[in-house]
Amino acid sequence: MKVPFAPKRRDSFHLSGGPARDQGESAGSGPRTLLSPRSAAGQVFVLQIVIVVLLIAASVTALVLQAGRDSRRGAERQSLTAAETFANAPGTARALKSGHPTAVLQPRAEATRKKAGLTFIVVTDTNGIRYTHPDPKRIGKKFIGTIKPSQKGRTTVEQAPGLSLPAGSGPVIQAVVPVTDDRGSVIGLVSAGIKVRHVISLSDRQLPIIFGTGAVALALSTLGTALVARRLRRQTHGLGPAEMTRMYEHHDAVLHAVREGVLIIGADGRLLLANDEGRRLLELPADAEQRQVGELELNADMARLLASGEPATDEVHLVGDRLLAVNIRSTAPYGGQAGWVVTLRDTTELSAVTGRAEVARERLTLLYDAGVRIGTTLDVVRTAQEFAEVATPRFADIVTVDLLEQVERGGEPTRTADMRRTAISGGHQEREALHPVGELITLSPAAPQARALEAGRAALEQDLRQARGWRDQDPDRARRALEFGMHSLVTVPLRARGEVLGMTDFWRTGDSPPFKEEDLSFAEELAARAAVAIDNARRFTREHMMAVTLQRSLLPQGVPEQNALEVAWRYLPAEAGVGGDWFDVIPLSGARVALVVGDVVGHGLHAAATMGRLRTAVHNFSALDLPPDELLGHLDELVARIDSDEIVGDHPQGHAEAVTGATCLYAIYDPVTGVCTAARAGHPPPAIVHPDGSVSYPEVPASPPLGLGSNPFETTELRLSEGSRLVLYTDGLIENRNRDIDTGLGLLREALEGAERTPEETCQAAIEAMLPAHPSDDIALLVARTQLLDPSRVAHWEVPPDPAAVAPVRAECVAQLQAWGLTDIGYTTELILSELITNAIRYGSPPVRVRLLHCRKLICEVSDGSSTSPHVRRAATTEEGGRGLFLVAQLAQRWGTRYLPGGKVIWTQQPLNNGAGAGAGAATSDALTEALLDQFDDPAL
């Protein structure tokens, strides 16, 4: 605000912060400016110094006089005390009655005088003739002083003219005390005295302290006065009384002449000052100053604003019929007392422009908020709800969103009149008149929604009470909507990328103003932004469903039947999308079972597809009965080959991605021996829950992830007690944003501890303890409880390397089958064993062993020391041999070769029920079996 005059140098001032300082004038201008008698500060300083000096002088004088009086009183008390003490001392009265009082009393008097520091102690008779005196020459002479009161038994204290004494001459303060006998008669007098000069010397010793104290007081007073004067100089800026008077006259003239209201409010909420314009704009009473703001009968909004003290800049408030622009600033930063200055400007004439600008600002803010808050989750329903919540209540009182059914499920939109209510916000009571969330809505051709959908732009029903078409949609709901006060509607199609996704309706109720034509463009802009976010969520939902479907199809749909392990599992995808975690339970030959857990880092279709390829490869390698380290080696080569095939030079082919971060743990459990052989490539170690409930992490050698060419892998053998639980998992279970892998392993140990739990209960306990609120990675968990095959269901024989040994071993095997109750498959098994044992003797090398396993299937194993693999071939009709393995393949349900460090094992698997193997088909009969067995009746065999 400009001041309408230009005062001289010392007349310039600021209304907010007081007078302006001169150029070069500062807080440290020096003592010359401070003591200048021209300024009010200098005059006050000089006056205060004079007053302080006078006060200190008077104080020192009073202290000196008081010290003298106190010293005199002390001397009187000292003399009186010494005289009374000597007069009443034992032997004094007896000495006075003796024949030679001087001889007894003189030494005593002198000793007492010296100890007490007195000038004299004199003992006289009742007539005042001295018996003792510091000067022996004066003994026998008349005592100088008043003795008459003492002769009558009273004590006298006086200042007497002094005589010449050894200590010097001068007046003394003396006390005369009578000495009485047993009958109370005065028999003598004792006088003790101290020179006045000695008393004054005591006072003189106190004077330096008194004057020093006065000097310190003067210095402190001067310093305090200087500080007060300095502060006053700062506040007056060195102005004299006349200049200050003139300045405040100018200040009042400007304050009340401006056409802007000015209020000054204290920190306690009292109105300290109000100029004429401020009184007029707020219609303040004459006694408004020094009253609380809340007592001024202002409207609630203005009273709250003024009392709050919160900074404000051109805030427009309605006061009566005026629109006032209010500015509030604190006075503290400008050196004033705590409080705030309020300026008021009448902007009623600009209300229309201000209103439109405010609406535009609010709508721009709403569009910004819509861009930030809509589409945060890529979930179609949640995105629609976010859109409805953003638009209420700043644009509409109620907002509903209806989407095509296929859009909500992530499908492609199609032209249809059926939509499903997806989201609603606002109007908790009015919602009863609208279709609830989840209800299917069929649009009526006369409804404004249908018109907007047909035209492809927003439609307006400014007054629903006069409109008719919208009632045809649902007359009963329309009637209830009017009863709840819903009076205006804007409906807008949700269009994105040229396709209609649904409709959104904006409703206004109660006292809200009806929609106008200018609201349509904003509604379309808001709906367009929401439609893009909903379409993005729809596309994500579609891709997510595709990835989930692909992954579900690639994961195991159940656990295969086997007798070695009792298995339970969990698979939980991440919230962000489908990942590449997988698990498998694969039955192997010899009743063994392979457990596999793997992880392909990343999410989406590529991770799921890669997971499927690796899982298929593990199945194929497992069919070869490879040990864990060799299987991981082949898998490592496969991943490296996949990467090299998908990348040409430094660029991926198309949109292919390299397989990075693939890990795997592969374990084989043998129920006959209870041994588990495991190897891992970049994967977390397994956990073992022992039968007593304790948990341990076995030392399975760690190797780098797959695809890095880290062959060879290392294996470890774990001997597991029956009832142990082997726990395999992916890193998503133990590691997340809030904990590292070591912390996760510790938490998993606590979750797994406990005996007598089933694998299903173990899975559930681990998931409940470890699953984060929002998992960012897939979780695969596999729990297998070990079982041992009963030794009575295992039979084995050592076969000599002699063809003649075939028949006895075959007979013993048949006898074992009969003991197991498997007579129905005895002939078929006999044929299979005869062929396998004969081949081992003829083409293999010792030792030759036979083992039968009776579990869910009958498993026959013939091992020898040769690593040569047999092959099935179809023999010609003219050939005598070559049909053995062909017959085995036809009679057995499955057969294969398993290599050992010292040779190989040929194994077959047969069902326990009667009939030929699956390969032979139902047409094979007992007669055919008999005919085949006849071939082995050769005595040589």
DSSP letter for each residue of 378-394: --HHHHHHHHHHHHTTT
Lowest mean pLDDT among 57-71, 77-91, 182-196, 739-753: 57-71
- The encoded tokens of residue 94 equal 């007896």
328 pLDDT tier (thresholds 50, 70, 90): confident
* pLDDT score at 55: 77
Output the average pLDDT for the chain: 81
**Gap between the Cα atoms of 795 and 846, Å rounded:** 19
For residue 580, give every residue at least 6 positions away whose Cβ sits within 8 Å of its Cβ, in sequence order, or none: 598, 599, 600, 601, 602, 603, 607, 608, 610, 611, 662, 778
Tokens of residue 299, six digits:
């409207």
Are the CB atoms for 194 and 118 separated by under 8 Å?
yes
Evaluate if residue 655 carries a pLDDT over 70: no
Phi, psi of 672 (to 5 degrees): -75, -45
Q: Structure tokens of 421?
A: 């209510």
Average pLDDT over residues 51-71: 75
Q: Dump pLDDT digits (tens) for 436-473.
A: 999 998 888 888 988 898 888 999 999 998 887 888 88
- pLDDT for residue 424: 94
Does the pLDDT of residue 659 top 80, yes or no? no
Chain-centre distance of CA 473, in angstroms?
50
Q: Mean of the pLDDT values across residues 756-763?
A: 92
Long-range contacts of 64-68 (CB under 8 A, 24+ apart): 64/203, 64/207, 64/210, 67/203, 67/206, 67/207, 67/210, 68/200, 68/203
What sections of 6-152 are H helices per DSSP?
31-34, 40-87, 92-97, 101-116, 148-151
Beta carbons of 743 and 687 less than 8 angstroms apart: no
What pLDDT shows up at residue 139?
86
Measured CA to CA, the distance from residue 127 to residue 106 in angstroms comes to: 18
The answer to whether residue 561 scores a pLDDT higher than 50 is yes
The candidate with the shortest Cα–Cα distance to 496, out of 413, 435, 566, is 413
Which of 71-80, 112-121, 203-212, 907-916 bottoms out in mean pLDDT, i.e. has the lowest? 203-212
Among 343-357, 589-603, 604-618, whose mean pLDDT is lowest? 343-357
Rounded-to-integer distance, Cα 51 and Cα 415, Å: 100
User: What percent of the chain is modeled with pLDDT above 70?
Assistant: 82
Q: How confident is the model at residue 861 (pLDDT cuts 50, 70, 90)?
A: very high
Q: Per-residue pLDDT tens for 146-171?
A: 888 888 888 888 887 765 566 556 67
Flag whether pLDDT at 701 surpasses 80. yes
Please name the amino acid found at residue 649.
G
208 pLDDT exceeds 50?
Answer: yes
Q: Please give the structure tokens belonging to residue 395.
A: 């644009």
Is residue 112 predicted with pLDDT exceeding 60? yes
**pLDDT attached to residue 927:** 46
Q: What is the dihedral of CA 225, 230, 233, 234, to 10 degrees?
A: -140
Confidence band of 715 (pLDDT split at 50, 70, 90): very high
Residue 198 confidence (pLDDT): 60
Q: Given a cut of 50, is residue 326 above it in pLDDT?
A: yes
